[in-house]
Amino acid sequence: MERLVMNEYLNKVLEKTRRLNEEQPEYLQAVEEVLTSIEPVINAHPEFEKLAILERMVEPERCILFRVPWVNDAGQVIVNRGYRIQYSSLIGPYKGGLRFHPSVNLSIMKFLGFEQIFKNALTGLPIGGAKGGSDFDPKGKSEGEIMRFCQSFMTELYRHIGQDVDVPAGDIGVGAREIGYLFGQYKKIKDAYEGGVLTGKDICYGGSLARKEATGYGLMFFMREMLKKHGKSLDGKTVTISGSGNVAIYACQKAYAMGAKVVAMSDSNGCVYDENGIDLETIKKIKEVQRGRIKEYLNFHPNAQYFESVNSSHPIWNIKTDIALPCATQNELNIEEARVLLKNGVIAVGEGANMPCTYEAAKYLIENGVLFAPAKAANAGGVATSAIEMSQNSMRYYYTFEEVEHKLERIMINIFNNCAKASEEFGHSGNYLDGANIAAFKQLSDAMKAQGVV
Ligand code: NDP
């Protein structure tokens, strides 16, 4: 859906971006969302046009595409495509996760890289924006296949990264196991121990305590602050969480710790509903240990219900809830699903995944008074803690779990306050989607002006 803006300069840039990226719907969606919401800032800064601030903001510094050949257990050579989008080094080394999923393509990589520059700015830490990954599907692969793929991926990627250059981390399909194989190969090729070249490492060789928990915990800190500002709390609220991966699991853990009850979680095949509250230990066993399907939850809790996803539908959004947390993937909550959530009385939606709500869904929820925590801000706790992991690696020192969690909590409170302040300053009070985009854009445009035309 094309959005209306009045500012001529913005319209010119939007038109050019659409023309140049016709085949990249997710990328256009992310750019349009940001450019639409920063209109008041552009109106206040006519000098931005001469400096081509927006044109520079929507063009990645570098897009790297590469071949990833590897041998499967049957001896067959397979070729996947690898990506690294080094989007912006304005405020620090390129930083952003790697995603291994069959849906990965240039549009998805660029949208994630673009989102990442704003998210990283919001953390207040010195990290630029990047994203990478491959169309490799880790599902059903043996340990040996996963290791060989990761080694081949790093055999090309290593020449583009470094602890002061570009620092990848995990994302969908890339957890501590994959980061371990990637790190091992990097170290072997470079013959040097650069601890800070990857984040999301295991604790036994330089990872940070609380990194695994950080995105989900951070989401709940943001949610708590947002509810508090509007005189509400998590206590006694029901919560539904899509996904059952890293973000979803630790959002669930923190939601319980904050007094809420999580009644449903999902994976790409369907969702489980447990009116007594989802038993997180069972989910962790199925997903983190057995790497199974969420349906298996019923083997342990036969009174729970399972709803299969048909034709990529998301049955989880039909379940009545006070708070909905999309924590799986992009565009997993559309306008029809938003309508159902609202009809069922949802009071808040928090984006744990990147761009999980379509723009129409997000706008509809906000316009109808649902408190909306946008991904860039609400899920920034993961990358913020990655930056804390990098600083521990540089210092050759470890913080305790409590120290890291405390820093994370402070960062999330700051992010919320900055989004709230920016939304008020530009007359969009309570619209944290616009607030997040405006707060991040202001910092990035200041940095761009300060560094000249490079
Ligand atoms: P994981 O791989 O750990 O988990 C992803 C979960 O989402 C799984 O339950 C998976 O189900 C489900 N899922 C993935 N793709 C789809 C799909 N196309 N349709 C339906 N369900 C799907 O990933 P993370 O938890 O790390 O990441 C989840 C989201 O959070 C992503 O958008 C990511 O970019 C974002 N994010 C992650 C951060 C992190 O620190 N990990 C930081 C900030 C954002 P199945 O098992 O069936 O594939």
Atom 5 in ligand 1: residue holding the nearest Cα: 245
- Provide the residue type at 59 as one letter: E
Q: In the chain, what are the domains?
A: 8-58 (no CATH), 62-195 (3.40.50.10860), 213-378 (3.40.50.720)
Measured in Å, residue 353 CA sits from the centre of ligand 1 at 7
Beta strands in 310-355 (DSSP E): 323-326, 348-350
Two structure tokens written together for 156:
């090309």
Residue 120 and residue 383 in contact, taking contact as beta carbons nearer than 8 Å: yes
- Our mutation pick for probing the ligand 1 site, out of 117, 135, 172, 317, counting the most ligand atoms within 8 A of Cβ, is 172
Taking CB atoms within 8 Å and a gap of at least 24, the contacts of 446-449 are: 447/90, 447/91, 448/51, 448/53, 448/56, 448/57, 448/90, 449/51, 449/53
Residue 64 and residue 83 in contact, taking contact as beta carbons nearer than 8 Å: yes
Per-position b or e across 295-306, b if 16+ CB within 10 A of its CB: bbbeeeeeebeb
DSSP H or E segment with residue 190: helix 176-190
Chain segment 216-230, per-residue pLDDT in tens: 999 999 999 999 999
- Residues with catalytic function: 131
DSSP H or E segment with residue 140: none
Residue 244 and residue 282 in contact, taking contact as beta carbons nearer than 8 Å: no
Measured in Å, residue 411 CA sits from the centre of ligand 1 at 23
Look up residue 125 and give its DSSP letter.
S
Atom 46 in ligand 1: residue holding the nearest Cα: 267
Q: Which residues line ligand 1 (CB under 6 A)?
A: 170-173, 215, 243-248, 267-269, 327-329, 332, 352-354, 379, 382
Chain segment 29-70, per-residue pLDDT in tens: 999 999 999 999 999 999 999 999 999 999 999 999 999 999
Measured in Å, residue 330 CA sits from the centre of ligand 1 at 9
Two structure tokens written together for 199:
């984040």
Sequence-separated (6 or more) residues with CB below 8 Å from residue 61: 86, 87, 88, 89
pLDDT by residue for the chain (454 residues), tens only, comes to: 556 789 999 999 999 999 999 999 999 999 999 999 999 999 999 999 999 999 999 999 999 999 999 999 999 999 999 999 999 999 999 999 999 999 999 999 999 999 999 999 999 999 999 999 999 999 999 999 999 999 999 999 999 999 999 999 999 999 999 999 999 999 999 999 999 999 999 999 999 999 999 999 999 999 999 999 999 999 999 999 999 999 999 999 999 999 999 999 999 999 999 999 999 999 999 999 999 999 999 999 999 999 999 988 999 999 999 999 999 999 999 999 999 999 999 999 999 999 999 999 999 999 999 999 999 999 999 999 999 999 999 999 999 999 999 999 999 999 999 999 999 998 889 999 999 999 999 999 999 999 999 9
* Atom of ligand 1 lying closest to residue 330 CA: 32
Query: Rounded to whole angstroms, what are the CA distances from 97 to 111, 132, 415, 438?
Result: 13, 6, 20, 23
86 vs 328: CA distance, rounded Å = 24
Tracing tokens 């491959």 back to the chain, one arrives at 134
Widest CA span in the chain: 64
CA–CA–CA angle 120, 124, 125 (5° rounding): 70
